[in-house]
A and B are shown apart, each in its own frame.
Chain A
Amino acid sequence: MRSPRSLERFYEATEQIVTIDRDSAPRVLFSGEDLLLEDLPIGTRVIYPRPPVRGLPNVKAAIRQAILRPHGCDPLHAMLRPGMKVTVALDDISLPLPPMRTPDVRQQVLEVILPLLADSGVDDVHLVIAVALHRHMTEAEMRRMVGPAIFEAFYPDRYYNHDAEDPAGNVTLGTTAHGEAVILNRRATESDLLIYVNLNLVPMDGGHKSVGTGLTTYQGVKAHHTPHHIRHSHSYMDPEHSEMHRSVDRIGRLIDRELKVFHIETTINNRMFDGPLEFLMRREEDYTELDRLKLAGMRAALKGLPPAAKRRMFQAIPAAYEVIAVHAGRTEPTHAEILKASWSQYAVDVDFQADVVIYGIPYISPYNVNSILNPLLVQLMAWGYFFNFYRGKPLIKKGGTLIITHPCSDSFDPVHHPSYIEFFHRLLPETRDSAVLEAKYERELAENPTYVHLYRTGHAYHGAHPFFMWYWGENGRDHVGRVIAVGADNAHVPALLGWEVAETLSEAVDMARSTHGRSAEIAMLHHPPIVMTQNLG
């Protein structure tokens, strides 16, 4: 039997929710590329990520096992015939975040399956990055993702980015019973076998979304990336309760009927930081003297650096993620197994909803790897991703107040996000109404020849992408009452987003209490790493 002291230590190590007391340590919050150290009000419940799930000891062995014992279909080697045409589609650089240390899991999967294809007499193999409307990956990023040997063997003729705007490169496969057009990459549709190599970072990813969204066109994405679909997704991290995933699944089932698709799905743990930054994975109570010293040193160094240098520094640190599960086979049974593993890493049970929720917004989102988290992406993180990190009931009560920490700088990357600039500075001042933006302007920017050219020949997100980023905050906007931005370096960006500003966190809390009263329940999601709440009561 454990002693009371031992039980206390056990509880502290495993319990994911810490309630702030009079003598609690201040909490570390990201604010873009800066780290804040803030005292939270007494009674605030801070929700921490689960400790990293143990990684698989031998990833390649797990990949071999997965393709030998797939879910719902024959093993991969039994599907191969000499002379057949195979396309291997890969998730792009938006997964995982930040990019993982090399070898990337996609490289490890390819190192298993490409020799198998070659040994089976399959020479006509193309590797297509399923970027959909994301920016095309650069040569250096493509090399890093698959390793130099595969890169040299396949790039550029047989290893390339999907082009959603190539009129000859995409074909219509059919239409679902709900009228959703199913349009796919021509090479994929003309292949005898399509293998999709996925990396699930969060439960929203993977499954039918991989092929149906990653290899389609603007018209194909448009079927489910609408304000309506997002508004009726509760949340889009929970596919069973997501209107968007219902549409994605209908499209995917049609694809599975028409094409032979073999999925290899993988998922990783949440070991985002290690080495000198490992202390960021710990609770503030558990910081050693050295950790506190590191934090102080890091904050002092960051304070003196310009934003671009801070960004480069953070983006240069790859994450120490470890693969925790690999499954292969038919889309649905494979994805169901991966979802189980993913939830086991992220879900933290809660039995309450808070009036006020605090998020520290970090420097990265899926759409600004090696780039700037511009204002539209800041709102995506607040109203979109972080709000949607729940299963069951949202962490924040309907009409609650969201407090975010981020400088909200009016700064955009013209190479990656040219259409975002027009969206933010031309369209948003006119209206924040998603329905109006969709009806009046979405097609205009989607078909803008400049943006089409930049998407196809450069490294720009598609002209329609900023609209989707705005829609992705739709259920958050619908649910949350107020947003207060702490530490904004300007007034106009928060004003354009409809946010209020506060200079300090305590000022923001006071503002929130003016709405919800002195007894307002306050909670904080302590990330990164990723944590999601599960309130099924």
Chain B
Amino acid sequence: MSDRPGAAFFDVDGTLVRTNIVHAFAFYAMNQGSILGTAWQTARTLLSVPLFLATDRMSRKAFNELFYRYYRGQSEDRLETLAEELFEEVLRPAVYRGACRLLDGARRAGCRIVLVTGALDFTVRHLADHLEADDVIANRMRFVQGMATGQVIPPIIEGAHKALAIRDYCVRHGLALERSFAYSDSFSDYPMLAVVGHPAAVNPDPRLAGVARAYEWPILSTTEA
């Protein structure tokens, strides 16, 4: 086995916090700066729910692409400002009680802490600081002249691409994949879990729980301290 150190890669939504990207998006939709803007964006989001559900069932990648298109036309400054409020009002209270303990354990084991999420980078930056993460691997919105285009800079961080991103990250930072840990709650993160030496299912969905049992991966809970 390699002497290089490992890292601990954490999915965010459902693993460390009880929210998901929909909560973040809903927060942005509800905070459009004017009553009309808020009403329009909220109504638009609500009307799109069936479409979101159908797309998510078909492909997580397509879901993310469709989802992020709804950010089009918003200013970068505005999104950054709202990100701070999003953290204070939505994310910070949603951090699972056991999450900090799990992160502390990884830190004490000498692991670099990396959050890996399909959310947009500016929405999780404050959370990463709060959890004292060393790095964040997240989706990045393309901005043109300070305005969001609704397009994400490829590759979209989801599913198999999370595994690829983790692999690249380890190469770039001289880390050993086989000594690294990965934690997620969702079966969609199976590739990310399978690529490291020490995968673990955290508050897993039924499909991931089944896989974890079959492969004898540890099953953790972060919902309680």
Cβ of B98: which chain A residues have Cβ within 8 Å of it?
453, 457
Q: Contact string, A434-460, partner B, CB cutoff 8 A, digits 1/0?
A: 000000000000011111111011100
Decide: A414 near B181, CB < 8 A? Known: A449-B111, A458-B220: no
Partner of A451, one of B101, B218, B219, B221: B218
A537 within 8 A of B: no
How many Å lie between the Cα of A167 and that of B105 in the bound state? 10
CB distance from B134 to the nearest CB of A (A): 14
- A447-B109, A449-B102 known; 18 new pairs, CB 8 Å cut-off, are A165-B105, A414-B213, A414-B218, A421-B216, A447-B110, A449-B105, A449-B106, A449-B108, A449-B109, A450-B198, A451-B218, A453-B98, A453-B101, A454-B220, A457-B98, A457-B220, A457-B225, A458-B221
Cβ of B124: which chain A residues have Cβ within 8 Å of it?
none
CB distance from A413 to the nearest CB of B (A): 11
CB distance from A39 to the nearest CB of B (A): 40
Q: Contact string, B96-107, partner A, CB cutoff 8 A, digits 1/0?
A: 001001101110
A-B contact pairs, 12 of them (CB 8 A): A414-B216, A414-B218, A421-B216, A449-B108, A451-B218, A452-B108, A452-B109, A453-B98, A453-B220, A457-B220, A457-B224, A458-B220
Cβ of A458: which chain B residues have Cβ within 8 Å of it?
220-221
How many Å lie between the Cα of A425 and that of B217 in the bound state? 12
Interface size class, chain A = 10 to 19
Contact assessment for B101 and A454 in the assembled complex, using a CB-CB cutoff below 8 Å: no
Name which residue of chain B comes closest to A441, CB basis.
B1
Count contacts on B: residues with CB < 8 A to the other chain. Answer: 23
Decide: A412 near B216, CB < 8 A? Known: A457-B101, A457-B225: yes
Contact assessment for A448 and B216 in the assembled complex, using a CB-CB cutoff below 8 Å: no
Decide: A450 near B225, CB < 8 A? Known: A165-B105, A456-B101, A457-B101: no
Contact assessment for A454 and B106 in the assembled complex, using a CB-CB cutoff below 8 Å: no
Contact assessment for A449 and B8 in the assembled complex, using a CB-CB cutoff below 8 Å: yes
How many Å lie between the Cα of A421 and that of B199 in the bound state? 14
Cβ of A239: which chain B residues have Cβ within 8 Å of it?
none
How many Å lie between the Cα of A239 and that of B218 in the bound state? 37
CB distance from A462 to the nearest CB of B (A): 12
A418 within 8 A of B: yes
Contact assessment for B220 and A448 in the assembled complex, using a CB-CB cutoff below 8 Å: no
How many Å lie between the Cα of A167 and that of B107 in the bound state? 12
CB distance from A436 to the nearest CB of B (A): 13
Q: Contact string, B172-207, partner A, CB cutoff 8 A, digits 1/0?
A: 000000000101000000000000001010000000
Name which residue of chain A comes closest to B111, CB basis.
A449
CB distance from A320 to the nearest CB of B (A): 37
Cβ of A418: which chain B residues have Cβ within 8 Å of it?
218
Query: Which A residues between 179 and 206 are near B, CB-CB below 8 angstroms?
Result: none
Partner of B105, one of A412, A414, A421, A453: A453
CB distance from B49 to the nearest CB of A (A): 35
Contact assessment for A452 and B221 in the assembled complex, using a CB-CB cutoff below 8 Å: no
Cβ of A167: which chain B residues have Cβ within 8 Å of it?
104, 108
Residues of A within 8 A of B (CB): 165, 167, 412, 414, 418, 421, 425, 447-454, 456-458
How many Å lie between the Cα of A453 and that of B213 in the bound state? 18
CB distance from A59 to the nearest CB of B (A): 37
Cβ of B106: which chain A residues have Cβ within 8 Å of it?
449
Cβ of B183: which chain A residues have Cβ within 8 Å of it?
450
Cβ of A421: which chain B residues have Cβ within 8 Å of it?
216
Decide: A450 near B220, CB < 8 A? Known: A165-B105, A457-B98, A457-B101: yes
CB distance from A488 to the nearest CB of B (A): 20
How many Å lie between the Cα of A447 and that of B109 in the bound state? 5
CB distance from B139 to the nearest CB of A (A): 26
Q: Contact string, B160-176, partner A, CB cutoff 8 A, digits 1/0?
A: 00000000000000000
Contact assessment for A448 and B101 in the assembled complex, using a CB-CB cutoff below 8 Å: no
Cβ of A412: which chain B residues have Cβ within 8 Å of it?
216
Name which residue of chain A comes closest to B103, CB basis.
A449
Contact assessment for A457 and B218 in the assembled complex, using a CB-CB cutoff below 8 Å: no
CB distance from A261 to the nearest CB of B (A): 30
Cβ of A456: which chain B residues have Cβ within 8 Å of it?
101, 105
Contact assessment for B198 and A414 in the assembled complex, using a CB-CB cutoff below 8 Å: no
Name which residue of chain A comes closest to B220, CB basis.
A453
How many Å lie between the Cα of A74 and that of B8 in the bound state? 53
How many Å lie between the Cα of A167 and that of B100 in the bound state? 13
Q: Contact string, B1-19, partner A, CB cutoff 8 A, digits 1/0?
A: 0000000100000000000
How many Å lie between the Cα of A458 and that of B203 in the bound state? 13
CB distance from A133 to the nearest CB of B (A): 15
CB distance from A463 to the nearest CB of B (A): 10
Name which residue of chain B comes closest to A419, CB basis.
B218
Name which residue of chain A comes closest to B212, CB basis.
A414
Partner of B108, one of A447, A450, A451, A454: A447
CB distance from B221 to the nearest CB of A (A): 7
